[in-house]
Amino acid sequence: MTSPDAGIAASLTRISGELTSVVDSLATGDGADDVLEVLGGADRVFVLGAGRSGLALQMTAMRLMHLGLAVHVVGETTAPAIRAGDVLLTASGSGTTAGIVRAVETATEVGARVVAITTAPDSPLGRAADALVVVPAATKLDRSGTASTQYAGGLFEQAVVLVGDAVFDALWQRSGLSADDLWPRHANLE
């Protein structure tokens, strides 16, 4: 039997309600603007996430590039070595994703700073971060329906997109650049 709440409109209403709750929580939380200071002072920004979180961060990488920042996606063949003065921007709901934690350790060892988006501030990722955004959402393994009714970390990944866009927008507003100033950096080999 199909639930009466199984339509797209009902799902959009439920999902947007969860996102509104996350946005309200982040808007009143502490420390999120630290991300702006860390990224704003970066020589280069390296972006790393796994799975859908990684895809969400790639969107942020593109926007930061539009601002004129030197941005590299970790794992791409053209990504150079990270070094002191650089920033590693990461996202992991659990904060324990092995490849991300290892990259954070490497970044820290060479003197780079770390920006993290996670649900778990006491995780290895959260503890290592120089700037931290804590998203009140379920991780992909939480199927309780308590923190989110969405499947496998969907709310966290959506929040990563929103946080990334908010970071870009705040840095853009601070830059004084116009949309016309940014446009020449937009991809033209599409």
**Taking the CA atoms of the chain, what radius of gyration do you get in angstroms?**
17
Q: How confident is the model at residue 152 (pLDDT cuts 50, 70, 90)?
A: confident
Which CATH number belongs to the domain containing residue 38 in this structure? 3.40.50.10490
pLDDT at 82 over 60: yes
Range of the domain at 102: 31-174
Report yes or no: 157 and 56 within 8 Å, Cβ to Cβ: yes
- The count of domains in the chain is 1
Q: How confident is the model at residue 26 (pLDDT cuts 50, 70, 90)?
A: confident
For the chain, the straight-line distance linking the first and the last C-alpha, in angstroms and rounded, comes to 45
149 or 4, greater pLDDT = 149
Strands (E), 95-134: 113-118, 131-134
Is residue 8 a part of any domain in this protein? no
Token pair 């009466």 is at which residue?
A: 4
Q: What is the model's pLDDT at position 145?
A: 63
Report yes or no: 19 and 159 within 8 Å, Cβ to Cβ: yes
Q: How confident is the model at residue 140 (pLDDT cuts 50, 70, 90)?
A: low
Return the axis-axis angle of helices 154-175 and 8-28, rounded to nearest 10°.
Answer: 50
Written as one letter, the residue type at 136 is P
Is residue 187 a part of any domain in this protein? no
Is residue 188 a part of any domain in this protein? no
Give dist(CA 113, CA 109) in Å, integer.
10
Q: What is the model's pLDDT at position 106?
A: 98
Number of H helices, E strands in the chain: 7, 5
Is residue 93 a part of any domain in this protein? yes
Query: Helix, strand, or coil here: 125?
Result: helix
Positions marked active-site: 157
Is residue 24 a part of any domain in this protein? no
Q: What is the model's pLDDT at position 2?
A: 65
Is residue 108 a part of any domain in this protein? yes
Is residue 170 a part of any domain in this protein? yes
- Length, in residues, of the chain: 190
Q: What is the model's pLDDT at position 72?
A: 98
Tokens of 4: 């009466």
Summarised one tens digit per residue, pLDDT across range 35-73 is 999 999 999 999 999 999 999 999 999 999 999 999 999
Q: What is the model's pLDDT at position 153?
A: 81
Q: Measuring CA to CA, how many Å separate 150 from each of 4, 23, 88?
A: 17, 16, 28
Give dist(CA 135, CA 92) in Å, integer.
10
Is residue 69 a part of any domain in this protein? yes
The overall longest dimension of the chain from CA atoms, in Å, is: 58
7 or 140, greater pLDDT = 7
Give dist(CA 168, CA 144) in Å, integer.
33
